[in-house]
Amino acid sequence: MSNGQGQPRARIEPTITQVAEVAGVSIGTVSNVLNSPDKVAPATRERVLEAIGRVGFIRNGNARSLASGTVHTISLVVPDITNSVFVDMSRGAQSASGKLGLSLLIASAESDPAVQDRYLDVFAEARSRGILLAPMSDSRAGIQRVRDHGRRVVIMNYDAPDLDVCTVLMNNYAGGRMAADHVIELGYRRLLFVGASDELQPVRDRRCGIRDVAREAGISFDEMDVQDLRREGEGLRVGTAIAERWSPGDEPLAVLIVTDTLAEGALNAILAKREIRVPEDIALMGLDGNKMSWDTPIAMTTLELPGFAMGAEAVRLLIAESELDHVHERVVLPVALHARESTLGRRAQS
Amino acid sequence: MSNGQGQPRARIEPTITQVAEVAGVSIGTVSNVLNSPDKVAPATRERVLEAIGRVGFIRNGNARSLASGTVHTISLVVPDITNSVFVDMSRGAQSASGKLGLSLLIASAESDPAVQDRYLDVFAEARSRGILLAPMSDSRAGIQRVRDHGRRVVIMNYDAPDLDVCTVLMNNYAGGRMAADHVIELGYRRLLFVGASDELQPVRDRRCGIRDVAREAGISFDEMDVQDLRREGEGLRVGTAIAERWSPGDEPLAVLIVTDTLAEGALNAILAKREIRVPEDIALMGLDGNKMSWDTPIAMTTLELPGFAMGAEAVRLLIAESELDHVHERVVLPVALHARESTLGRRAQS
DNA sequence: ATGAAAGCGCTAACAC
DNA sequence: GTGTTAGCGCTTTCAT
């Protein structure tokens, strides 16, 4: 699959051999100035460096890692870089791996399991030092495959106790409780949870947290699920449905919505009905702190997820993985509440 | 617990040779079932595939690209994944490269030129098919270096007419004009531009656009620059300074702020002074459509930047780069205005 | 301090 | 169809 035409090949890449020739040394020496400069006499070192500059040499990383058997990259696969929690994970992982002199390569699966698997393969084939994976819904197949092949993997944001890997999680159950506590404290006596399939662990856990609090408080608890969290306009539909059910004089309602994106649509739809006051009649909040979907006329209450810490922690676990006596860990990080106008109203905000 | 055998070492990676042995064929045949399955008899193909599964073989991408001289990845280096415009570029590039069967590897420089350069090196050494670079401020050195080494590069968001590369830009000047037009149409007669060093092209261009409109309209135009766009709390300081200068009865002021992050802080600071009404007394808007910083109690007007299209376009140009008769292009994409409450107030919004 | 040479795991000719 | 073999560009002993 070279180029069909004659010789218009991109320009030939200078190799270590050419550098050696130009500098009048052996390739071993060139390799040494690259990797252990102190093993080389200052004079020759200069000469080689100069030659490197002259020919415009860039060492071939593929050859290098093939020969040496080492790679200096960690890779991260996230489902969707459009959700700020994954951006935070990237930053956390970036920061941690940078400190170790490793480079972090990021891939976004764009919400497509096939793309996710492709990247897992790419990174496995690249013999990346390890893979940080925040899997899409249930991808045990993919995880297991990578795992089987002896690659180091740390799973983020998905609990797989049976999978023989390190995992880094956030406490979604506690987050659910926190959210419910928040609106109950504000005086709401009717809760509605908008979720999706419980196959998605974060959905299930947040739901449970809220449900438990509602039960303990003896408060009305309703649920409403969407088919597809990513479908365009789903939030608007949810909001419209809620608005239609509502009539003046109803007991105030607090709606806890599993993702901020969904909540954004819902809030916008509800605000469109001018006769409903937010939050006096209906309070809303999101539950996944996704800044990327805060495009609402009034600020939305949400949870703050520990993405950055999770990324950093994942790198730590990945490195720990290479210790002989390593035993897999399951780290759970806390979430926090970020109260804003959609539940608080115009009172002083936290 | 993973290693059943005695050796505590990370388990040895199965190679094509082992697969060949297990399957009872030659390595050439294994290579063929991997790369040109149709060149292989169905029966043997099955046998090889089965062997691959049995030994858990994953081909070594480094050896592969070393031998074949091809790589199937494109790489993208952005200054800061925390700005949604770069996320959009990633998505655009991802989408376009996916269609070509190429994988996109993303690196964020975390606002550090040294990190940026490190990634440029990593990708150059990886012999990535090409590099998409949205450079930090002025990194001609880095660009030039990569360029010199004969790598394919497309520059995004930085105009380098003298640099012999393809570039993909957005029309920041028009964006500035749009913003100024918007607030003038709303009736404001005093403009304040909050910017930073004109070394940053987007800052300079947006400033020029606004200044030109103000001059043409014969309207009061003021400027205020921050030292460091990324410094924590800079937006708050700006907002506080503006609020302090303001006194009741002043002619209404429209503040156009070069980044949404800065604008976010400024807006929050101004709202903290309860006696100033937004937007009646002071209207504000950001100019870089950064969703990640829309954490304000009232929705902020801003520009909508064509990140996605830029990413897609960049990939197209990168591919075009390998054509024999390629001549470098400079593509400029339009921006749009997204009017919200911080300038419109509570009237119907666009 | 430097050079020579044996691979690293794979692809791609080419032979059979 | 399948096997053989010569590299790809580099690292890494091991001599010198």
**pLDDT, tens digit, for every residue of B243-265?**
999 999 999 999 999 999 999 99
pLDDT at A145 over 80: no
pLDDT at A6 over 70: no
pLDDT at A10 over 60: no
Judge whether residue A33 contacts strand C, using its CB and a 7 Å cut-off.
no
A-B contacts (CB, under 8 Å): 161
Task: Please report the pLDDT score of residue B8 as a whole number.
Answer: 32
Chain B partners within 8 Å of A95 (Cβ): 110
Nearest residue on chain A to B98, alpha-carbon basis: A115
Spacing of A67 CA from C7 C1' in Å: 8
Task: Please report the pLDDT score of residue B269 as a whole number.
Answer: 97
Say if residues B76 and B51 touch (Cβ distance below 8 Å).
Answer: no
Token pair of B277 as six digits? 């009404």
**pLDDT, tens digit, for every residue of A239-256?**
999 999 999 999 999 999
Chain A partners within 8 Å of B298 (Cβ): 297-299
Task: Please report the pLDDT score of residue B36 as a whole number.
Answer: 95
Helix (H) or strand (E) run with residue A71 in it: none
Spacing of B70 CA from D7 C1' in Å: 15
Residues 42-101 of B with CB under 7 A from strand D: 43-45, 63, 66-67, 69
* Nearest residue: Cα versus C1' of D2: B29
Please answer yes or no on whether A91 and B82 come within 8 Å at the CB atom.
Answer: yes
Separation between Cα atoms, residue B71 and residue A62, nearest integer Å: 10
Judge whether residue B322 contacts strand D, using its CB and a 7 Å cut-off.
no
Parts of chain B with a pLDDT under 70: 1-11, 138, 140, 142, 145, 148-149, 348-350
Task: Please report the pLDDT score of residue A4 as a whole number.
Answer: 33
Average pLDDT over residues A17-46: 96
Please answer yes or no on whether B2 and A149 come within 8 Å at the CB atom.
Answer: no
From the list B103, B115, B298, the residue facing A119 with the nearest CB is: B103
**Residues 154-173, chain B, touching A (beta carbon < 8 A):** none
Tally of CB atoms within 10 A around A1? 7
Q: Report, in ranges, which bases of strand D sit under 7 Å from a protein C-beta.
A: 1-5, 7-13
Chain A partners within 8 Å of B104 (Cβ): 107
pLDDT at A8 over 50: no
From the list B209, B281, B280, the residue with the least C-alpha distance to B242 is: B281
Token pair of B175 as six digits? 């964006």
Please answer yes or no on whether A292 and B84 come within 8 Å at the CB atom.
Answer: yes
Cβ–Cβ contact A64 with B under 8 A: yes
Residues 34-63 of A with CB under 7 A from strand C: 39-41, 43-45, 63
From the list B62, B107, B294, the residue facing A106 with the nearest CB is: B107
Provide the CB-side half-sphere exposure for A88 (13 A, CA).
19
Cβ–Cβ contact B323 with A under 8 A: no
Task: Please report the pLDDT score of residue B2 as a whole number.
Answer: 35
Judge whether residue A86 contacts strand D, using its CB and a 7 Å cut-off.
no
Task: Please report the pLDDT score of residue A137 as a whole number.
Answer: 76
User: Residue A348 — pLDDT band, cuts 50, 70, 90?
Assistant: low
CA angle A213–A216–A218, rounded 5-degree value: 105
Please answer yes or no on whether B297 and A294 come within 8 Å at the CB atom.
Answer: no
Task: Please report the pLDDT score of residue B85 as a whole number.
Answer: 98
* Nearest residue: Cα versus C1' of C6: A67
DSSP per position, A266-333? HHHHHHHSTTS-TTTTEEEEESS--GGG--SSBPPBEEE--HHHHHHHHHHHHHHTTSTT----EEEE
- Least confident range from A5-9, A37-41, A80-84, B164-168: namely A5-9
Separation between Cα atoms, residue A306 and residue A98, nearest integer Å: 19
Spacing of B198 CA from C11 C1' in Å: 51
Task: Please report the pLDDT score of residue B349 as a whole number.
Answer: 54
Chain A partners within 8 Å of B113 (Cβ): none
Average pLDDT over residues A96-110: 97
Judge whether residue A94 contacts strand C, using its CB and a 7 Å cut-off.
no
Cβ–Cβ contact B36 with A under 8 A: no
pLDDT at A141 over 60: yes
Task: Please report the pLDDT score of residue B324 as a whole number.
Answer: 84
Task: Please report the pLDDT score of residue A221 as a whole number.
Answer: 98
User: Residue A324 — pLDDT band, cuts 50, 70, 90?
Assistant: confident
Please answer yes or no on whether A349 and B60 come within 8 Å at the CB atom.
Answer: no
Nearest residue on chain A to B12, alpha-carbon basis: A150
Nearest residue on chain B to A67, alpha-carbon basis: B63
CA A230 vs CA A196, A202, B97: distances in Å: 10, 15, 22
Separation between Cα atoms, residue A330 and residue A320, nearest integer Å: 13
Residues 255-274 of B with CB under 7 A from strand D: none
CA torsion angle B142 B148 B154 B157 (round to 10):
30
pLDDT at A83 over 60: yes
Cβ–Cβ contact A119 with B under 8 A: yes
Q: Which is more confidently placed, A167 or A143?
A: A167
pLDDT averaged over chain A?
93
The pTM of this model reads 0.94
Say if residues A194 and A238 touch (Cβ distance below 8 Å).
Answer: yes
Q: Across-strand partners of B166? A: B154
